[in-house]
Structure 1
Amino acid sequence: MNRSLLATTIASCLVLTACGGGGGGGNVRSDPPQSTVVAPTPSTPAPTTPTTPTTPTTPTTPVPTPMPTPMPTAPATPAPAPAPAPAPAPARYQGLGSNLLVPTNADLAQQAGARGQGVKVAVLDDNLVPSYAPISGKVDSFNDYTASPGTPESSANALRGHGTVISALVLGSAQDGFAGGIAPDADLFYARICAENSCGTQQTRRAAVDLAAAGVRIANLSIGASYADAASSANAALAWRFALAPLVQADALIVASTGNEGASKASSPAATPVQEASLRNNWLAVGAINIDAAGNAAGLTSYSNHCGAAAQWCLVAPGSYFAPALAGTELQGQIAGTSFSTAAVTGVAAQVLGVYPWMSASNLQQTLLTTATDLGDPGVDALYGFGLVNAAKAIKGPEQFINNWSANVTSGYDSTFSNDISGAGNLTKNGAGKLTLSGNNTYTGGTSVSDGVFALSGSLRSDVSVLNSATFESRGGVINGNYSVVNNTGTTALELGKGLTVTGQASLKGNVLLLPEAAGYNVGSSEKIVQAGNLQGTFDRVQYANNFFWTASLAYDPTTVTATLTRNASAASAQAAGAPQSVVNGAAQADTLVKVLDTRVASGDTDNLGGLISATGSLLAATDAQVAASLPTLAGQVHGIERTLGFQSALNDARVAADRLPYLADTTTLTTWMQSSYLDGKLGGSGFDSADYTQQSTTVGVDLPVGSAGTIVGAAVSSGQDRANIDASASRLRADRYAMTAYLYQPIGQAYLSGIGSYGMSNVETERTVQAGSIGERLQDRRHDTNWSLRAELGLLPRAGLSPFVAVGVVSQTQDAFSEASVTGLGLSASSDTLRAGYGEVGVRGHLARGKWGFDGLVAYRSLFGNPNSDFTAWFTDLPEARFNVAGEPVSKQALRASVGVRYQLNDEFSIYGNAGAERGRSDANSINANVGLRWQF
């Protein structure tokens, strides 16, 4: 049979009614409903039945009758077994308005943070009223798949608004005495597949295609119908399998109501997997129970169908609720029916999937079923199935492994099952993520760790096998069985002080990673890490936390493995490993920190050191990669960058003034000038992260001829800003600079002598991230630095356009005392410190005049005298006795610079000029600069 013919056959076989077998939802009126409710006549004629080309021959399918609106009274059917005396009423139960959240324990799950975050839930039902207050603004998608899209339900439809209220129970916001839906943070994808109480599988199929493509993982079907004979039921099941196949193939969970006929079996589509067994892992059927005045389960409602043959995927929820009145409908507050019970279970499913987004439909189904509160006969029964849905338990994972449970925990997820898990099934851990079992688990199937991390902090009654390159982690775990590492690439991770207990045989192989001890536990020089009934094999490699701070070795006897730990000097370890200099420097600081902190702890003098102790412990316990990333952040490189930039700024102030000297020779009257400068550079010492920086300033000055000997004196003030970023360490600085400069120019025959002095101040703001293993902090600091410079230059007046010169100078930069406030205690503090250096410079300037134009050029070489050291002494703010050397950014000892410029005389009074240059130094200290200026000669 081709696909189009199959679709045609299905459409004619099933025309389902909204709220029929699954819905029944209606409001409860003050007068009881009629004992028999007449179904509204469908707007389209009942379909004829084609001949089905498979056996058995398809019988004529009756048009299903929509289920009557049930009365939410106490059930007429007595419970099959006497119920135990109810517990005292929970204080949180306040009557009908609490039925949605309290008997289901959804309120407790919400308090634990389970609100359906990021879960896409579909409701397939009648026409939606998006303006309904609880769902207003919460509809992510609404599509109408009926024959006349956009046509509202008629007033003859007593159940109009049914799907709207269901959506509110699933994820609505709190309104008008309504406490809100079960999963208020879930995303609503609404599909209209019903019109005038008639729902078709063709419409459902089209909706399922779109919903699957949108990533929907849970679909609510509060619809259905019942059939008098097995052939019709089988045909309906076939139709539903086809209609919902896109969602099933996308691994969505279908949640359907058992129906409101008071029958001994579930209606369709809740019962579909009875005939279509391949759907059983993707299905939930939901019945309705009464809730007594104390908020406890009080038997199945008189209208709810039993779970029947669907018991293995069936559970129950309260049948009566309160929801805000929906204008223009009969839904005016109190509502009842398995439709709404289904909405409650859908909401709980969204809560669970929000906690475990990696769960498959089968995982989600089994978690909801096995955590349900048992009702009626012990175990799964035909009346209640698995029992009353229990959100507070379900968000803690399953309580049974009935068959094979495959946990595909994908990368980035770290999940915990804290329930005590029983059952005869087994567990397979797949996926790169982490799964922890913290309960006392008694399931008897095997546990296979195929990928990622499987952690045990509770106990197992199961053999454990570690396959491939997976990791088994124990934090005091007990295996009442055997433990085996199958491959040399497998890893066993054991927490010091707790280790692993195996009552059977432990077959060892591969890597063993010793995990840091819990807070409050003091690690000894030797620690028992494995206790087994007997041991076979040995571990191939051992590591405790990292190789920077620790060396570990193992000893074996017939039943135990013992680890011996030795503390290393991390700086020596880093150097031996060929780590970058920034890592080595940070390691030296860490060694000082650990040594002094050990002394403090041993003496009991730990007041105000809680943050520092935690941060240091985190660093010592971190992995190699974490330590290598953390150590450079301890060094405070940004402070060294600012020190070098302050020194460079003083040099630049002298350079800017000196490079104006060619203009002074032509000064005959009082002249004012203004100049804007920009410099873009890079600093980076070997083994350190490089820093990109900019310097910009505006300078205003005055030149004044004095006497008749050509003497010119001048002064200038400037304002500017330095910015630097060290992207690799997320560090940055900003310095607002202010400077004053005075200068003298004196011709002497065919030569000249000049002198320049400057003084500058900087308001410095630094920001950086410090990291210690898993603990990090953003640090900020403000301080005021100062600098000054002197320069004397002797040169020849231009001959043939060239003017050679020599200069000497001195530059001083004072870093103000600072102290970074820090919660972790890893902020740095330092006293005021001064860097001072002399320098010499030799170069030649060139000048060419062409009418109103002038062209200039310069080449110069500069060398610092001695070996200026920009390092300074610092300490961790909370531990002043832990002092160490902080490496400043190296100051380039030699530098070559060159520039070209142009001038234009606008008139007798005004001229403009500009130049561009570059400087290249050692240690990647390179920059480019540009200046533009205006001179006004009075």
Structure 2
Amino acid sequence: MINLKPAIEAGYTGRGVEVGIVDTGESVGSISFPELYGRKEHGYNENYKNYTAYMRKEAPEDGDGKDIEASFDDEAVIETEAKPTDIRHVKEIGHIDVVSHIIGGRSVDGRPAGGIAPDATLHIMNTHDGTKNEIMSAAIRNAWVKLGERGVRIVNNSFGTTSRAGTADHFQIANSEEQYRQALLAYSGGDKTDEGIRLMQQSDYGNLSYHIRNKNMLFIFSASNDAQAQPNTLTLLPFYEKDAQKGIITVAGVDRSGEKFNGSNHCGITAMWCLSAPYEASVRFTRTNPIQIAGTSFSAPIVTGTAALLLQKYPWMSNDNLRTTLLTTAQDIGAVGVDSKFGWGLLDAGKAMNGPASFPFGDFTADTKGTSDIAYSFRNDISGTGGLIKKGGSQLQLHGNNTYTGKTIIEGGSLVLYGNNKSDMRVETKGALIYNGAASGGSLNSDGIVYLADTDRSGANETVHIKGDLQLGGEGTLYTRLGKLLKVDGTAMTGGKLYMSARGKGAGYLNRTGQRVPFLSAAKIGRDYSFFTNIETDGGLLASLDSVEKTAGSEGDTLSYYVRRGNAARTASAAAHSAPAGLKHAVEQGGSNLENLMVELDASESSATPETVETAAADRTDMPGIRPYGATFRAAAAVQHANAADGVRIFNSLAATVYADSTAAHADMQGRRLKAVSDGLDHNGTGLRVIAQTQQDGGTWEQGGVEGKMRGSTQTVGIAAKTGENTTAAATLGMGRSTWSENSANAKTDSISLFAGIRHDAGDIGYLKGLFSYGRYKNSISRSTGADEHAEGSVNGTLMQLGALGGVNVPFAATGDLTVEGGLRYDLLKQDAFAEKGSALGWSGNSLTEGTLVGLAGLKLSQPLSDKAVLFATAGVERDLNGRDYTVTGGFTGATAATGKTGARNMPHTRLVAGLGADVEFGNGWNGLARYSYAGSKQYGNHSGRVGVGYRF
């Protein structure tokens, strides 16, 4: 009914907020309920002047049920060693208990919390006199004083009177104004001494007025249940002292249908500081039956709990801020607008958590305090005749479309506009106004910072609209970006500092001759750009700002920057000097690729006007005879205007080195698999053997501060057999997956390969081997490209390997053998053409054919441990006898004629290899093997582990 769910789902619980509860009950001891455990409770003593803190402890073991009172320091948090669920309960539940539970009851035994702000710190002030069933004015006033001394900001008051009753020293409406005047006489007359304050606080009105004005407290009162046209008299203070409105809220009760509760008083003359809330409460304490209770006493704590949530979200809010937000976000019920029955309407907790919806009480002063890294947001549309005064160092964001007509003054921190705003604005020297995206506002006078910021949207330029005049004072700064236009309906008077950034998503594509980019237009520019006392630019990766020009036209005056474009190849070459050694080649290649693309784009724009160039968000269908390049222009423009500090990263991404690097890693891994077949030929024994193996690989390439990582897994099955007296043959089928990662690119390679080998022994002299493999692979790539774009692609290929080896056996020790082996292997890789998706700066690669001759040499030592187990150790070298070049020629997917090629890391031509292993015969034809191998160089290392099992027929 009060739309509390959004606040709960956002995680607000009142944590860190202190709430006062001034109330009464049959006994002191609310905190004896687990739901209210750990709160501060203060009982009123018989002298009606001082408060002593009490808490209900566990009953003695004799079970007499008597309460044990203990006095504590008022400032101390009351605690007990007993667990909440162990605390003994009173037999009766008092008015104060229910009110406290509604505001801040906590969850017990896994049940949902009954309170609106379960983590708020509650100061429960019990004004019961211990003998009379009355609420004494002196007790109330002293409770407010104590709460003010403790810094409590929100006070719930579920009590009141509309006439003199018994011995209660309250007042009637008839004489309330006179009492108010008498109470304030000394204080308003200038007597602000301790004695003057004491005299003021001796009356209810005087006490309220003092704490509202001097302690920034918000008092929330129930309207009372007398079915009267006016609420209880304690809420009437603002009727006599208008400024007291900021610290009082009257709460009337409504039923579940939104109709006024029959017993509830109306808002009456307090309508402007009154709202309504549900009067029916269903409360359950642990080990008690649910309590169904009704009255405005239980409407007020709903508002109080919501105020606690609001103060948690906006801890800087004053009492004026809190009441403005709670009242103006209420749901209008009854007569349209504020009425004497329902006030502002029904409490809307969810809407209140998004800030005020109107400024009806004058200017709303938002002193957000804090520092610039803290931000708060108002998301409601804000209306009203008041204005907004922004103070404090933190940021305040306005997300709504606001129609309030008062002025907006920024004295400190920053104010961010996301939508349209009607208000005229003034920025002081310590303030900042940020227009986000295409925001708008009224006239602007600034001696502070005016910042035109990009939104997260890319593409079309965005215009900030000032629907009035612009005055930039000599102390201020206008900070803008290329592609942002500040449009002024009236007269623009320039001055102060101009800071122009060449970076920004809205900046258009720059051709080789440069272009004029407007940044300020007005019906009239009263001063030209020379009235900027200082002009600074930061420049983009390829964009340099040359000069400011003023032009006059039929629709007004314009200030523009003339922007020139740098050469991408030369810029990349310069960036490569500061790049890690492993990136230098790729950075230079990426710059060359980009320059080729921009030459093509320049040619496509030869018949285009500068105005057409600025429409880079749309495909170039508006240019007859020219291929649509919209996405390509946007992507190229984003690179041109990117941060120069990101040059190395961007140029490297434009080289797409991951294709060559992951292909090289796959070829190396397939070579390791073929070597496993070669090793298996040396130890097959007699008969036919069936083989099943699994191999795991992990490799790291590192050079000059750049790293690439490879992980792989292959499963193989095959056979090996004696095909003659001196001949052994083997064949296996392997399926593998490997991954390669480098910088901001990742590759996944799936393959299926056939491996075969044959060995012929030439007696004791040595042997000859022939090796063959043929595999197909699919390489799937995901990578960043350009300025914050992403591309994905896949490429298919085949890899065939042919090897010829010879070996000589040398006796070693008594039982071991040493084999010297050498030969050649030829790798032939063929790769299909491909095109990436997702980015105009993705790569479109041509087909590739590359052959590499590899020299192989090594030693192998075998040592039998028994007739069933043999150990092996290997060492050797592999060298590519010609360059292994897997770079892919082609061009960007968004181009038609521009060509280039991908980059490639400097993979090692010479690799050292070593390994250890063992073969074991288990018996009954079963045998197993285990291998570890290493291949690497100074900057590269690959580790492989292989285990397998075989069966010999």
Shorter-chain TM-score: what band?
A: 0.5 to 0.7
Question: Following TM superposition, by how much is the alpha carbon of 1:792 offset from its aligned partner in structure 2, in angstroms?
Answer: 0.7
Q: Which residue of 1 aligns with 2:722?
A: 705
Give how far 1:315 is off.
Answer: 4.2
On the 8 A contact 2:378/2:396 being kept in 1, the answer is no
Does the CA-based 8 Å contact 1:737-1:761 persist in structure 2? yes
SS at match of 2:882: coil
Instruction: Determine which of 935, 940, 953 is the counterpart of 1:925.
Output: 940
What is the distance in 1 between the residues matched to 2:853 and 2:833? 24
Letter in 2 for 1:541: E
Distance 1:236 1:784 in 2: 81
Q: Partner residue of 1:805?
A: 821
1:542 CA drift (Å): 0.8
Contact 1:917 1:930 (C-alpha < 8 Å) held by counterparts: yes
Q: Does 1:281 align with 2:174?
A: no
Q: Give the Cα–Cα distance (whole angstroms) in 2 for the partners of residues 639 and 481 of structure 1.
A: 54
Q: Is the 8 A contact 1:815 1:832 kept in 2?
A: yes
Are the structure 2 counterparts of residues 732 and 307 from structure 1 closer, same or farther at C-alpha, using a change threshold of 3 Å? Answer: farther
Secondary structure at 2:683 match in 1? helix
Determine the structure 2 residue equivalent to 1:738.
752
- CA distance 1:305–1:314, change in 2 (3 Å): closer
Partner of residue 846, structure 1 = 861
CA distance in structure 2 between the aligned counterparts of 1:155 and 1:742, rounded to whole angstroms: 90
Matched, 1:554 2:552: no
- For the Cα contact (< 8 Å) 1:695–1:723, is it kept in 2? yes
Q: Where do residues 1-400 of structure 1 align in structure 2 (5 Å cutoff)? A: 100=2, 117-121=10-14, 143=38, 147-148=55-56, 150=87, 157=94, 161-164=98-101, 188-189=118-119, 228=137, 235-242=142-149, 244-245=150-151, 248=152, 253-254=153-154, 256-257=156-157, 259-262=159-162, 274-276=209-211, 280-281=215-216, 283=218, 285=220, 301=231, 305-308=235-238, 309=241, 310-315=244-249, 319-322=253-256, 335-337=294-296, 339-341=298-300, 343-344=302-303, 346-347=305-306, 350=309, 359-360=316-317, 364-365=321-322, 368=325, 395=354, 399=359
Tell me, yes or no, if the aligned pair for 1:256 and 1:286 is still in contact at 8 Å. Answer: yes
For residues 764-813 of structure 1, the C-alpha deviation after alignment (integer angstroms, 9 at most, x for no partner) is 555x3536656x66x66666543221111123233554433321112233
Shift of 1:669: 3.7
Rounded to whole Å, the distance in 1 between the matches of 2:338 and 2:282 is 37
Q: How far is 1:195 from its partner?
A: 10
Give the direction of change, closer, same or farther, for the CA distance of 1:233–1:556 in structure 2 (3 Å limit): farther
1:612-631 residue CA offsets vs partner (Å, 9 max, x unmatched) = 77766666665456776566
Any idea what the Cα deviations from partners look like across 1:22-51, whole Å, max 9, x if unmatched? xxxxxxxxxxxxxxxxxxxxxxxxxxxxxx
Measure, in 2, the Cα distance between the counterparts of 1:771 and 1:389.
51
User: How far off is 1:935 after superposition?
Assistant: 5.7
1:757 Cα deviation from its structure 2 partner: 0.5
Q: Once the two structures are superposed, what CA deviation does each residue of 1:643-689 show, in whole Å capped at 9, x if it has no partner?
A: 2232122212222223345435xx344344444433210135668x5
Distance 1:421 1:507, change over 3 A: farther
Gaps of 5+ in 1: 1-97, 128-138, 170-174, 201-223, 293-297
Please say if residues 22 and 155 of structure 2, whose CA atoms lie closer than 8 Å, have aligned partners that are also in contact. Answer: no
Letter of the 1:281 counterpart: N
Alignment partners' CA distance in 2, 1:900 and 1:781: 39
Instruction: Compute the displacement of 1:324 (Å).
Output: 7.2
**1:468–1:755 Cα change, 3 Å:** same
> In the alignment, is the contact (CA less than 8 A) between 2:388 and 2:407 conserved in 1?
yes
1:690 match: 707
Structure-1 separation of matches of 2:347 and 2:206: 19
SS at match of 2:119: strand
Q: Distance in 2 between matches of 1:448 and 1:847?
A: 84
Whether 2:479 is the aligned partner of 1:492: answer yes
Contact 2:768–2:807 (CA under 8 A) maintained in structure 1: yes
In structure 2, what residue type is equivalent to 1:492?
Y
User: Paired residue for 2:451?
Assistant: 473
The letter of the residue matching 2:216 is: N
Q: Using structure 1 for the length normalisation, give the TM-score.
A: 0.64
Q: Which amino acid aligns with 1:275?
A: Y
Distance 1:746 1:569 in 2: 62
Relative contact order higher in (CA < 8 Å, ≥ 6 apart): 1
State the Cα distance separating 1:343 from its structure 2 match. 2.2
- Pairwise CA distance, 1:300: 5.8
Tell me, yes or no, if the aligned pair for 1:762 and 1:785 is still in contact at 8 Å: yes
- Measured after TM superposition, the shift of residue 240 of structure 1 is 1.4
Does residue 642 in structure 1 map to residue 662 in structure 2?
yes
Indicate if the aligned counterparts of 2:621 and 2:628 stay in contact, CA closer than 8 A. Answer: no
Give the aligned partner of residue 5 of structure 1.
Answer: none
CA–CA distance in structure 2, aligned partners of residues 613 and 300 of structure 1: 69
Aligned AA (2:806)? L
Could you tell me how far apart the structure 1 residues matched to 2:205 and 2:754 are? 86
How many angstroms does 1:863 deviate by? 2.0
Partner of 1:860: 876
Distance (whole Å) between structure 1 residues aligned to residue 369 and residue 122 of structure 2: 34
Going from structure 1 to structure 2, the CA distance change for 1:608 and 1:935 (only over 3 Å counts) comes to: same
The one-character-per-residue Cα deviations of 1:323-374 (angstroms, maximum 9, x if unpaired) are 57558889759x54265255247537746965xx575557953762795799
Q: Which residue of 2 aligns with 1:405?
A: 367
Distance (whole Å) between structure 2 residues aligned to residue 389 and residue 271 of structure 1 = 29
Tell me the equivalent position of 1:508.
496
Cα deviation, residue 439, structure 1: 5.2
Displacement of 1:756 after TM fit? 0.4
Work out the percentage of aligned pairs sharing the same amino acid: 15
Task: Measure, in 1, the Cα distance between the counterparts of 2:569 and 2:295.
Answer: 71
Decide whether aligned partners of structure 1 residues 521 and 809 sit closer, same or farther in structure 2, where only a CA change above 3 A counts.
Answer: closer
User: Aligned partners of 2:658 and 2:811: how far apart in 1?
Assistant: 46
Matched, 1:724 2:719: no
Name the amino acid aligned to 1:465.
T
Check whether the contact 1:114–1:352 (CA below 8 A) recurs between aligned residues. Answer: no
Instruction: Give, in whole Å, the separation in 2 of the partners of 1:199 and 1:692.
Output: 78
Specify which of 913, 919, 924 is matched with residue 897 of structure 1.
913
Output the CA distance in 1 between the equivalents of 2:746 and 2:937.
22
With structure 2 as the length reference, what TM-score do the two structures score? 0.63
List runs of 5+ in structure 2 lacking aligned partners. 24-33, 42-54, 58-86, 107-111, 163-171, 181-200, 257-279, 434-447, 453-463, 606-617
Mark the CA change 1:873 to 1:227 in structure 2 (over 3 Å): closer, same or farther.
farther
CA RMSD of aligned residues (A): 5.7
Distance 1:737 1:850, change over 3 A: same
Superposed CA offset, 1:498-524 (max 9, x none): 337697865524744367476999996
Give the partner amino acid of 2:885.
Answer: N
Aligned to 1:15: none
State the match for 2:263 in structure 1: none
5 Å matches for 1:553-572? 553-554=547-548, 562-572=560-570
Is the Cα–Cα contact under 8 Å of residues 411 and 432 in structure 1 kept in the other structure? yes
In 1, Cα distance between the equivalents of 2:311 and 2:634? 34
Residues 696 and 720, structure 1, Cα contact 8 Å, conserved in 2: yes
Letter in 1 for 2:886: S
Could you tell me how far apart the structure 2 residues matched to 1:361 and 1:676 are? 70
Distance apart, 1:163 and its partner CA: 4.6
Partners of 2:35 and 2:753 lie apart in 1 by 59
1:663 aligns with 2:709: no
Does the CA-based 8 Å contact 1:416-1:438 persist in structure 2?
Answer: no
Distance 1:811 1:281, change over 3 A: farther
Alignment-mate amino acid for residue 856 of structure 2: E
Aligned 8 A contact 1:516 1:621 in 2: yes
Question: Quick one: which of 852, 865, 878 aligns to 1:837?
Answer: 852
Alpha-carbon shift at residue 634 of structure 1 (Å): 5.8
Would the aligned equivalents of 2:551 and 2:558 in 1 still touch at CA under 8 Å? yes
